[in-house]
Amino acid sequence: MKLTYTSFSWIDETKENIFSTPPLDYTLKMNGNTRVINFVDHENNEHYLEISETTVFVRYDKRSLWLDINKPRENVLNFTEDKNIVLKWVLLEINISISQIDFSYEIYQGDTLLTTNVILLKFL
């Protein structure tokens, strides 16, 4: 089974394609109503996702993020020991079909919108 993974970002209303993969092997398992997807991208980074109708959990390399459509979440990004940034992640939408899954979220620092992102998984 193959999928493509694409990430888009909007900064100041300018669309940028951040990341797109060629077709990749993946595994898909169901855990109740949650889809559990594993794949390794073309740069050898491991991706693990748990996606339901209201939540998204992503583990990418050594980073992880839990998003809930009903609850904005604050996360701390550690750049150095003395420089940390608290960002608020807001899950906007999740769409699940047989051929693809997409979800979108916004990232804020305080009340300032930094970026809007869309993740698209297409099953080939």
Hey, which residues does 50 pair with through a beta bridge? 36, 57
Rounded to two decimals, the pTM is: 0.85
Tell me the per-residue pLDDT of 39-55, one tens digit each, with 9 for 90 and over. Answer: 998 889 899 999 999 99
Q: Domain locations in the chain?
A: 2-123
Measured between alpha carbons, how far is 20 from 121 in angstroms, rounded to an integer?
10
Task: Specify the pLDDT at position 34.
Answer: 97
Measured between alpha carbons, how far is 94 from 66 in angstroms, rounded to an integer?
14
pLDDT-based confidence at residue 77 (cuts at 50, 70, 90): low
Asked whether the beta carbons of 6 and 101 are under 8 A apart, the reply is no
Fold of 2-123: Lipocalin (2.40.128)
Task: Specify the pLDDT at position 83.
Answer: 67
Measured between alpha carbons, how far is 74 from 58 in angstroms, rounded to an integer?
15
